Amino acid sequence: MDLKETLEKYLEIKREIKLIEQRLDKLQCQKGQIVSDTVTGCTPERSDKHVIKITGIDMSQLRIIENNYQVLARRRKRLRAMETEIESFIDSVEDSKVRQIITLRYLDGLTWKAVGRKVYGYSGEDAPRKYFERWFARSSASAGEKCPPRPF
């Protein structure tokens, strides 16, 4: 996967982290759910058969919830590591304009036209796109440039 593909994945990674966190919150709420049921039986206080209400936590459901929680937490950790790797790469770019373009285009998800408006002050889409493509071509050709992150 090349740099552009990796950068384009950033917003997908952010969205997936948000979805996972919502699911983790939902699972966390389900963890402490108390279930109740009724059974027929006798108690030391009453020797005749009667209905007894029992309450507690469904342990089989709790194990499933905890397993799902752990799987999602591991995935979130892996995605956050990818997110950090991409952000570290962007931070390592020495050209301020390229950092701005990458941040606006790939991290914030703006169109090239909106990037042009923010970086150059006018709504041309060619200037930021070409500036980035030229930088990308130069950095790919130079041996000293940091390799792009490869999160997938």
Quote the pTM value. Answer: 0.71
Return the bridge partners of 141, or none.
Answer: none
Give the residue among 136, 44, 5 at the shortest CA–CA distance from 13.
5
Question: According to the model, what pLDDT value does residue 1 have?
Answer: 56
What are the CA-CA distances from residue 137 to residues 3, 4, 48, 121, 125 (Å)? Answer: 11, 11, 86, 25, 18
Judge whether 57 and 35 are in contact, CB under 8 Å: yes
> What number of other Cβ atoms are within 10 A of residue 81's Cβ?
12
Judge whether 27 and 68 are in contact, CB under 8 Å: yes
Q: What is the pLDDT along the chain (152 residues), one digit of tens a residue?
A: 577 888 889 999 999 999 999 999 998 888 777 778 888 888 788 788 888 888 877 788 888 889 999 999 999 999 999 999 999 999 999 999 999 999 999 999 999 999 999 999 987 889 999 999 999 888 877 744 455 544 43
- Residue 32 DSSP one-character state: T
Question: According to the model, what pLDDT value does residue 104 have?
Answer: 95
- Residue 146 DSSP one-character state: P
SS3 38: strand
